[in-house]
Structures are given as C-alpha cells and as structure tokens.
Amino acid sequence: MQSGFSPLGHLSFLVGFLSGWRRILWNLFLITVGSSIFAVGLNAVLIPQGFVSGGVVGISLILYYIFPAYNPGLIYFMVNIPLIVLGWFTISRTFMLYTTVGMSVFSLVSGIVAPRFPTIEDPILAAIFAAIICGVGAGIILRSRGSAGGFDILAVALSKKWGLRVGGTLTFLNALVLFAGAYFFHLEIILYSFLYTYAMGRVIDAVMTGFNQRKSILIVSDHAEEIGRQILMRFDRGCTYLKGTGGYSGMDKKIIFSIITLTELPKMKELIFDLDPSAFLVVNDTLEVLGKRHGSLRVY
C-alpha cells in the first residue's frame, strides 16, 4: 500500500527536529557561558592568590604552579583525557559527548579569558570572591546535560561499578587533592583553599536549585479534608492525601502532603493550627521540585 502525504506527520517531525536542536544549542550555550565565568575566577583571583582547588582543577593548578611554563587550560585538558576515556565506556554517551565539549571549551577559554582585577589584599575575601565567581560558572555548567570534566566522571563510574555514593566520593577525592597540595604549599594557602572549596559548593547549590527550592510539608490531622480545602482555596496550592494509621490508636488517618514556598510557611502554620490546634506538622527542605506549576527545567 502506498502511503499518502501527511502534513501533520511532517510538521510533527519538523517540530521534534527543531526542538532537539534547540536543546542541544541551549546546553552548549550553558557550557560556554559557565566555562567563561569559571575561567574569569580562575585566572583573575585563584591563580594570582596562589590558591588550590579540589578535583581536577586543583590537580591542574598544582601542576601549573610547579611548571608555570605550561598553560593551565592545556594541563586541565591533558589530565581529563583518561577520565573521558573511562566515562565513555561506563556512563551515558550523551552525557560524555556534552562533557567532552565542556572540557574542551573550558580548557580553551581558560587559556584565553584572563581579565585583570584589582589586587585583593585580604585572602579570606579573595577566597569568597573566587568562590562566588567560580561557583556561578560551575553551577551554570551543571545546569546543562553535561559537565566540564573532572572527578564527576570518576565518581559516577565508581557509583555504577561498586555502588559508592557520588557525593561522598567527590568529597573524598577533592580532599585528597587539597591534602596533596599541603605537601607543596604553605598550610595557610591550603586552609584558604578549603574555604574557597566549601563556599563554592554552596554557591553551586544556590545556582542549581535556588530558583526552584520549595518546602514540603506533611500534616497529620483529624481535620485533614478541611485543611486541604483551605490550602487549595487560600494558597492555590495542590495537596495529596496519603493513607496512614496511628501507631498508638490504630485509627486510619489522612495525611496531607503539599509543596509550598518559604514565604508561605508562616501563614500555612497559622492556617493549620487555627483549624486544628492538635495537628502534627512536619516541614522538610527540598533539593528541587519539578512538575506542574513548580518548574520543568531539568538539572543534571
């Protein structure tokens, strides 16, 4: 049977194709912008202050301080090659392709982008300033579907192989690099570098999840349905009823689960305890909330 021409089918294919390219270009844009910002912090603050960092950036800085004739971007690229090879056979090919691009872009801009900032005399302020710049850059990179290389690849590979926790593995590897730096440099430099590394981690968290962070609440009450109605009416927030059983009473209970913003929390408490003074409320921080009315941006 000869298939006929389907305008809707061709239109759907074209929309899907353009959407795919838009996502690719957006991810490449994030990687390029993030790498450029990180390179500013690296060349304008970290290197002039003689600080070290965790991860492959830290290894590259140590080697650069020992062999200053070589470009730090080139050193970073060379150190990452074994990790890229490892990741290619153990991690998602899509992630590794973006990561290879990110590593290449970061290595390139690190050798090109070298602005001159006024000298910061206080090393603590310099560490915080570097953490802000580099943390923003790293956070933007990580909002793409790839990375700029580094120990992220090794941590994910070890997690898939032996079930090790990625966060714990990264912390251990980064600490190893900083402790190794203590062998080559003055202890005060390493302590300032620890401050920089910690502060940068906080900035990365803020960049990756700060615009999408919410509070999750669990409410145990004998007036669950009335509280749920008021949440819908007053806050225009959805809620879900979970089934629970009282451990002491053995009675069936409805547990309300909802997501709210931090600014809504005080009014939410007032609402709940006005309707039921004996209600039980649990408030949790959320790393990220995605879905209807809470954002749809995927953070890798």
Choice between 211 and 280, residue whose per-residue pLDDT is larger: 280
Average pLDDT for 140-166: 75
Cα 130 to Cα 107: distance, rounded to the nearest angstrom: 18
Cα 201 to Cα 219: distance, rounded to the nearest angstrom: 33
pLDDT attached to residue 281: 92
Cα 198 to Cα 129: distance, rounded to the nearest angstrom: 12
Cα 102 to Cα 149: distance, rounded to the nearest angstrom: 7
pLDDT attached to residue 293: 56
pLDDT attached to residue 113: 78
Cα 223 to Cα 195: distance, rounded to the nearest angstrom: 49
Does residue 71 carry a pLDDT above 50? yes
Helices (H) and strands (E) in the chain, counts: 11, 4
**Which pLDDT tens digit goes with each residue over 245-266?**
887 777 888 899 998 887 788 8
pLDDT attached to residue 90: 79
What CATH number is given for 214-285 in this structure? 3.30.70.120
Does residue 213 carry a pLDDT above 80? no
* Amino acid making up residue 257: F
Domain range annotation of the chain: 9-211, 214-285
Most confident of 20-24, 195-199, 216-220: 216-220
**Burial readout 120-139 (b: 16 or more C-beta within 10 A, e: otherwise):** beebeebbbbbbbbbbbbbb
In whole numbers, what is the pLDDT of the chain averaged over residues? 81
Structure tokens at 278: 């004996």
